[in-house]
Amino acid sequence: MLFWKRSNMRIIFLLLFFRFLIQDLYSHPLAPSFYKIWEKEKGTFEVLWKGPEMRVRGEKVTPLIPEGCKALGKPNYSYENTGFIKTYKMSCDSSLIGKKIEVKGLNKSKRNVLLHITFKDKRLIQEVLNSKKSNIVIPRNFSSWDFFKKYLVLGFEHILSGADHLLFIFALIILMTHFKTILVTITFFTIGHSITLSLAVLDLIYLSPRVSEFGIALTLLILAAEIDQKKKSIMTRYPWGMPLFFGLIHGLGFAGALKEVGLPQSEIPLTLFSFNLGIEIGQIFFIGVLCLSLFLLRKVKITIPFWAQKIQTYALGSVAAFWCIERVFS
């Protein structure tokens, strides 16, 4: 018994496709900034601010020097392929504990700022600042529960903001129209990306981010070709093997995102688990919304013209091919 009609799947696909296409067009100007502070000596800090080369017109996002601190000398500026870098030294009359770390202009921006603070005693603070939270006050104590919540949310947000990952999951569901095969496919995809996510974060394996991102786009291109197969495809014949292999590739992409944020050395197992759990919750949430949408569409009779039957395959293949080329030459 089919879990849903393919005609309804095409409608959902087109809605998702255009939503992700718009997101991708605006993803580069809204790439995250990096704000790193590390303590060299007691009361003396080095600061690095990295902003993307492409910015929204009129946007002015810049870190503020905390109260009780002052810059030492003039800042140094440099440029690289993805943006500009500003570095300077800063001295504070006391510890940063209890002080407010703030990014000016972030409350009016759609940008995320990845904050990374390292103290001389190896304590580590990672935070994602955005328009809803443009500053933090450095706490005196950090509980395991705080780290767990923070990385759980990071994992959840990462999967739901990744157009390539979500389109891949959706393409898997298009192929596997039976509930049991969907369950098997998603389970083995999850096992695959959990393995490489853990191994890559623990530095047991390494693959260049450019190669892994190209690999993710390539998996989407392969699925587009599989959807267009009139005969029984490899994916439907082996609903565990291919998703497991593709999951291994996607896990490297997840690991790259997690490494950008960083992991507290004292809580690596906990934060790795919570980030991965956040990804799984986001994945389940996406599939749940998709299934609910399909259920509602079954109540509506919509006739799709014959010429539109192949749109989902060509659209998916075109986007995947574009991403493959972009990630090789960018």
> Which amino acid, one-letter code, is at 54?
M
Sign of CA dihedral 320, 283, 16, 181: positive
Widest pairwise Cα distance in the chain: 72
Any idea what DSSP says for residue 190? H
pTM (predicted TM-score): 0.70
pLDDT for 194 equals 93
Strands 100-104 and 62-63: antiparallel
List C-alpha distances in Å: 21 to 7, 24, 27, 217: 21, 5, 10, 14
pLDDT for 10 equals 53
User: Could you give the angle at which helices 163-175 and 144-161 cross, rounded to 10 degrees?
Assistant: 70
Q: What is the C-alpha to C-alpha distance for residues 49 and 40, in angstroms, rounded to an integer? A: 17
Q: What is the C-alpha to C-alpha distance for residues 187 and 319, in angstroms, rounded to an integer? A: 26
According to DSSP, the residues that pair with 137 across neighbouring strands are 100
Output the tens digit of pLDDT for each of the chain's 330 residues.
444 455 455 555 555 554 554 455 443 334 678 899 998 888 899 999 987 655 555 567 889 999 989 999 889 988 876 678 899 999 998 788 888 999 988 887 777 888 888 887 667 787 888 888 888 888 877 678 878 888 898 889 888 888 888 888 888 887 776 777 888 888 899 999 999 999 998 889 988 888 888 999 999 888 888 877 756 667 667 777 888 999 999 999 888 878 777 777 777 888 899 999 999 999 999 888 887 777 776 666 666 565 555 676 777 888 888 888 888 886
State in Å, rounded, how far the first CA of the chain is from the last one.
Answer: 45
Q: What is the C-alpha to C-alpha distance for residues 164 and 217, in angstroms, rounded to an integer? A: 7
